[in-house]
Structure 1
């Protein structure tokens, strides 16, 4: 008999699946591609920050943004390394198949490279799931892991359950098995996102992990309750609530907060030269500054040249336009840049 994870489809679960599907449908109608790409960027940062924060990583969104931009960050080396690994893993996200055990092992290798010895390999010893200082679950013996994971992947490949449900079941079963020596939490959340993304690409960067981090005690409680009941319905219901809350709050309007052009506006005081702007942003590479910050701000009409007829003039400076001032008013003036520099 083929393996069948024990779970029950409750009315609460069905209602949340329907609500999430409706909300995703509304997000799918986004037509402004540039805004959608900016949303993807901020949500990926939030996703990585949330998932690593659950595991104890203290880096802020501003620091992760800086690492993404290749800037130096003053923080514990291990935490910086975790972020770089996560960024590298998400760069490979589109190449992995949810039902491929080989891809799961490769994802673990990338995500945990340089952090533990057994990367890309199932564990060889016993492990437990911790909630603070409390052991809430002792995982199955290591010698059972390959068979249990094989059964789980076999079920995932054959199931006709809705991806919202199947991904939550997989996530719970994965955490129950706890197949790796370390990194199981972030891997379980990553793989649920992968399963969902094959249903709809918008799920790639919807930052569910941020909400899970805010409800971390409930996350562990849902795992524990599902284990006690030998039924993952409590965990499914919890995850669907997190997904629904995240989807309904993932709107394009939040995207400009971390875009380079908005960061440029936040340091622009009066009239400033290119060099002054670059230094104020803490950037060294002139070409990166021009392409990622200056030109987008000019193209969007957020800043203007003081000598527009002579764009290459050595006396050229830049100042905010009315549109740029309106954008900064919505973002609290120069607060964004101050916070970003403080976070680094």
Structure 2
């Protein structure tokens, strides 16, 4: 690593920031007490999809959570090749989430190389040209010249390794400083959000499963506004406070799940579902005539628990729609995985 060991990013610990740190810590403890390991893999998968969709959507990728799920499961998706590649790369990066070490600059470069493989000329290498932060179509910040990037990143990682602040503060400060330096030709937003999550996950593993990116997406204009405000003030406190608010709001919507809630009706549905079946076929197999009752009591609960899935998630009302067991549904039934036909 290069640069001064005494470097400290400019930030003020406001009363609002300290209050949010206490509130988030309390919320994390409460959620941890309610959580159980059963169902953890399922919840992590759902939230990982939310995370990938959110962080890519901020950068202009239009693929839905259903399409990302299809790519994750190896099914065919009709979409722009670049957007599909972005999703595949993000899946590969988040699959290695537990392996990346946030204090290692080499890991950041390796993660960027995987994230941007096939998308830019030199993935995993610091930029050699000018760059800036875009808020929509507007430049909100011109980054330092490329010749200073290695030194600035070295100083930032030295600070990260020696920081004695709470991880909630350290993560948000790192995120801001990373975006200020904007070290790569592309992928900076995705990497900054990923690395903040890594820093937080080192403090508490719950943050490997918290899709803060989805909340940032809902407040995207404010995300760029507070970044510019922090830059204008030469103090990243506004950005830190914003990110802590996003974390708090995400935690407020986070509901731990212990296992799929399988009612007798859902159990019957899973037991009659063979391969891919239409609504009419399922009702006939269950000997049910009432379409509304079937939808509300059988179909919707099974979909909500992730036990079955649509074959055409992007066209939910299609008359050609069919349903099939998910991996979770097959596992619940104690079956071996079966091949699913794809379009």
User: What range describes the TM-score normalised by the shorter chain of this pair?
Assistant: 0.7 to 0.9
Matched-pair contact (CA < 8 Å) for 1:172–1:232 = yes
TM-fit CA distance, 1:36: 2.4
The 1:276/1:177 distance shift into structure 2, 3 A limit, reads: closer
The 1:89/1:318 distance shift into structure 2, 3 A limit, reads: farther
| 1:175 matches 2:175 | no
Other-structure match for 1:116: 120
Unaligned runs of 5+ in 2: 317-342
TM normalised by structure 2 equals 0.79
1: CA distance between counterparts of 2:84 and 2:227? 29
1: CA distance between counterparts of 2:253 and 2:260? 15
1: CA distance between counterparts of 2:204 and 2:273? 44
TM normalised by structure 1 equals 0.79
Q: How does 1:67-106 map to 2 (within 5 A)?
A: 67-106=71-110
**Residue in structure 2 matching 1:337, options 310, 315, 324:** 310
TM-fit CA distance, 1:337: 3.2
Other-structure match for 1:147: 151
Other-structure match for 2:203: 199
Number of equivalences: 300
| 1:237 matches 2:280 | no
Question: What is the RMSD of the two structures over their aligned residues, measured on CA atoms?
Answer: 3.3
Structure 1 counterpart SS, 2:126: coil
Q: Spell out, residue by residue over 1:305-335, the C-alpha distance to the aligned partner (whole angstroms, 9 max, x if none).
A: x9xxxxxxxxxx7789x999746455799x9
Other-structure match for 2:252: 248
2: CA distance between counterparts of 1:140 and 1:219? 20
Other-structure match for 2:275: 275
The 1:11/1:74 distance shift into structure 2, 3 A limit, reads: same
Other-structure match for 1:39: 43
TM-fit CA distance, 1:39: 1.4
TM-fit CA distance, 1:30: 3.8
Other-structure match for 2:164: 160
Matched-pair contact (CA < 8 Å) for 1:226–1:235 = yes
TM-fit CA distance, 1:92: 1.1
Structure 2 counterpart SS, 1:93: coil
Other-structure match for 1:312: none
Unaligned runs of 5+ in 1: 282-302, 307-316
Q: Spell out, residue by residue over 1:251-297, the C-alpha distance to the aligned partner (whole angstroms, 9 max, x if none).
A: 0359969xxx99xx69x69x9562344xx59xxxxxxxxxxxxxxxx
The 1:339/1:7 distance shift into structure 2, 3 A limit, reads: farther
**Higher percent of residues as helix:** 1
Other-structure match for 1:27: 31
Matched-pair contact (CA < 8 Å) for 1:88–1:110 = yes
2: CA distance between counterparts of 1:191 and 1:59? 23
| 1:188 matches 2:192 | yes
The 1:29/1:141 distance shift into structure 2, 3 A limit, reads: same
Q: Spell out, residue by residue over 1:195-231, the C-alpha distance to the aligned partner (whole angstroms, 9 max, x if none).
A: 0000111101200000101100000001100000000
TM-fit CA distance, 1:132: 1.6
